[in-house]
Amino acid sequence: MLRPGLPAPFIPRVDAQSPWSSPWQVADRACDGSNGGDNGGDSGGGDNGGGTDQPPVDTTGWPKPLVENNRAYRNNTGHVVASYFVEWGVYGRNFPVDRIPATNLTHILYGFVPICGPNPTLQQENPAGYSALQSQCSGKPDYSVVLHDKFAALEKSYPGDKWDDPIRGNIGQLMKMKASNPGIRVLPSIGGWTLSDPFFHLANDAARRATFVSSVKTFLKTYAVFDGVDIDWEYPGGGGANTGLGSSSDRTGYTSLMRDLRAMLTQLGQETGRTYELTSAVGAGPAKIDQVDWQQASTYLDYVFAMTYDFYGAWSGELGHHAGLNPTAQSIHEGFTGAEAVTNLMAAGVPADKLVMGVAMYGRGWSGVTGGTVDNPFTGTGGNKIAGTWEAGVLDYRQIESAFQGGASGKGANGFVYYYDTQAQAPYLWNASRGELITYDDVRSARAKADYAKRNGLAGVFSWEIDADNGNILNAMHEGLGHSPK
C-alpha cells in the first residue's frame, strides 16, 4: 500500500445528466482501507418528505424483481449483508433504487450526507459541489446535516410518482422499497472522503457537536425511512483528503461523538417506538485503527464497517492487492489485508460480532508497470492509473468481468491473463506486454471473505458499491456465508 497517512488523489466523477451545470458527483474511494465519497445527503429541515405523519406509501409495482445476475438467497445465518448505494448513481450509472437487490440485503447505506460549515476540501476539489452545498446550507447553522443533490434525493420522478407527491427522488423510492421489504435497514452515511472536514471541527466542541446531533435527529424525524445513522469520518487523527486536519484529540472526539449520537438515538427511539442503529465506516490500516479508542467507542456502535479495500492503488507506485484477505511474502506493508485489519480491530477492542468486513465491487489498476515478470507483476513498480470506468485507476466489477476477465469464470480477455493468489485470496489481471495490472475482488475472493467472516464470528460482510456489481459479487457474499438459494 501507499505510505500510511498518504491519501489517494481526489478525482472528479463525470456522470451524464446531472442537474448541475458541471457535475458535482465525486470520487469516493480513499486509501488505507477507506472508501468514502462526499455527495448526497438529506435535509436537516422539516420540509415534508417522509416523516411519521405522512400518508401510507403506495407500493404498487413493488417489490421489484432481481435484475442482472442477482439470485435470491435465504439469510439463514442471520449475518449482516450490506451495501452502499450512492446518490449520484441515478445519473450516468443509471442505477436507481429499483435496481437495488433489496431482498438480498439487510442494510442499505445511503451515501453521502454533507455537513454545513468548513468544507475546504470540497471547495478545492469540487467547486460545483461546494456551491450546491452552500445553497443547501443557506439559513441553516454550521454543523447541520443538509441535502446536497436535492433533485436526486427528493425531486427526480420515477414511474408511479405523481406530480404532487411531497417526496420523490431516491428517498421516495427508498420509502417504497422499504415498505415492500420491511426487514431491510436503511441508514444515511454522513461524511466521506471530501466531506469529512467538519468532523474535525465539531467532534471536540460540545456546542458544535450538540448542533450536529440535534440536526441528525431532525433529519431522522423528517425522513422516517431511515433507521439510524452511519458515520464515515475519514479519518480521526488525520490522513484523509485534507492533510491539514487531524490531531490526537480526535481520539476523544470520536468517542464523544458516538456517545452523543447513541444517546440521541435512544431518546428518539423512546419517542417513536422504533429501534435506531449507529454504525461507522472505518479505515482498516494500522495507523487509522490506532487513532480511535475502540474499547470505548465500540460500546456505542451497533456495527463497525471495516473498509478492507484500497490497501494499494495507483496513487502510488507500490503494487499489491487492493482488497486482499491475507498477507503474503510479497506484502509491502504489515496490516494491509482484510484478515490483519480484523485482527487489529479486535485487539483494539471491537467485538467480533460488531465487525463487518468490506468487499470491493470494483478494482484498482496501474498502467506502465515496470520490473514485473511475465507471470508476477508484484515484483515491479506501478506507473500511471489505468483507464477507469468513471475515474482513472478505478474500474467497476461489471466492466472488469466482461472486458478483461472474459466472464465470471474467464481466464482473461483483451490481452489480460487472469491469476488468483491462493495465499492472499485475491485475483488479479495482468497484461505483461502493456504493463497493465488490475487488482480487485471477484466471485472467488468475495466468497472467501464471507467465509472468513462466518468462521471468525464476525457480524457479516458489506460492499462498496452496489451499482458496480452485476449481481455476481453479492451472490458470492451470500454463498460464503452459507446462505441457501430461495
- Residues recognised as catalytic: 234
- Helix (H, G, I), strand (E, B), or coil: what is residue 219? helix
Measure the CA–CA gap between 376 and 193, rounded to whole angstroms: 32
Q: Looking up cell 465539531, which residue turns up?
A: 202
Q: Cα 14 from chain centroid?
A: 19
CA distance between the termini of the chain: 40
Burial profile 170-183: b = 16 or more Cβ within 10 angstroms, e = fewer: bbbbbbbbbebbee
Measure the CA–CA gap between 359 and 464, rounded to whole angstroms: 7
Could you tell me if residue 358 is left (phi over 0), alpha (psi between -120 and 50 degrees) or otherwise beta? beta
Long-range pairs for 174-179 at CB < 8 Å and ≥24 separation? Answer: 174/97, 174/108, 174/110, 174/225, 175/50, 175/57, 175/225, 176/57, 176/58, 176/59, 176/62, 176/97, 177/62, 177/63, 177/64, 177/97, 177/98, 177/100, 177/102, 178/225, 179/56, 179/57, 179/59, 179/62
**58 exposure class (CB count in 10 Å sphere: 0-12, 13-18, 19+):** middle
Is 439 within 8 Å of 323 (Cβ atoms)?
yes
Measure the CA–CA gap between 131 and 14, rounded to whole angstroms: 17
Burial profile 210-230: b = 16 or more Cβ within 10 angstroms, e = fewer: ebbbbbbbbbbbbbbbbbbbb
Q: Cα 347 from chain centroid?
A: 24
Residue type (1 letter), 5: G
Segment holding 171, helix H or strand E: helix 169-180
- Other residues' Cβ atoms within 10 Å of the Cβ of residue 101: 23
According to DSSP H, which parts of 126-168 are helical? Answer: 127-137, 150
Beta bridge partners of 278: 229
104 phi/psi in degrees, rounded to 5: -105, 10
- Helix (H, G, I), strand (E, B), or coil: what is residue 396? strand
Measure the CA–CA gap between 135 and 254, rounded to whole angstroms: 28
> Strands, E, within 7-140: which ranges?
80-86, 107-113
